[in-house]
Copies of this chain bind each other. A is one copy, B any other.
């Protein structure tokens, strides 16, 4: 999987080939890659693996305080500074997501990823409502708003020279505060 990421970053989707992925590996491992019928089969498997790992990691990170959990999730999904490794993974995801416009197998994976993130935000908000620390809002509406703001900010950072993370982090905190926090 690391070799596939590396080859994608070096060559881009259009110029990626099974041979170039194999080149990133030593020979004994390279043979295993020929189990996949095509470049797209391999890339969908890569996505499946990446999303599984994300799902497992995210479910273990929450505590008892819905407000703190929501702040933590926003920080995780929208870091002020991108560390090298997550930034590379996110960049690769932007490249692969463009395939989802016309390829159903890719589209299915990104639907699963986005649904998992939205459900995670929704569940935290619902916990806050149940605990009485959040107001009794439409959890889906607020969760989708928070998720869309995060997704749009990251997409802009990956594909332009604009970086508005500092602005949307402040505005999201204000949004959560005014929409959710009970006074």
Contact = CB atoms under 8 A, between A and B. Distances in A.
A174 to B, nearest CB: 8
Contact of A107 (B98, B118, B161): B161
Number of copies: 2
* Secondary structure dominating the interface of A: helix
Residue from A108, A140, A171, A172 with most neighbouring chain B CB atoms (10 Å): A171
B162 A114 contact: yes
29 contacts: A12-B99, A13-B98, A94-B98, A95-B98, A100-B158, A100-B160, A101-B158, A107-B160, A111-B162, A114-B156, A115-B162, A118-B162, A118-B164, A142-B171, A144-B164, A145-B167, A145-B168, A148-B148, A148-B152, A148-B156, A148-B168, A149-B149, A149-B152, A150-B152, A151-B151, A151-B152, A151-B156, A152-B155, A178-B179
A106 to B, nearest CB: 8
A151 B153 CA distance: 8
A110 interface: yes
Interface string A100-132: 111000011011001100100000000000000
Contacts of A20: none
Interface of A: 12-14, 91, 94-95, 97-102, 107-108, 110-111, 114-115, 118, 140-142, 144-145, 147-153, 155-156, 158-162, 164, 167-168, 170-172, 174-175, 178-179
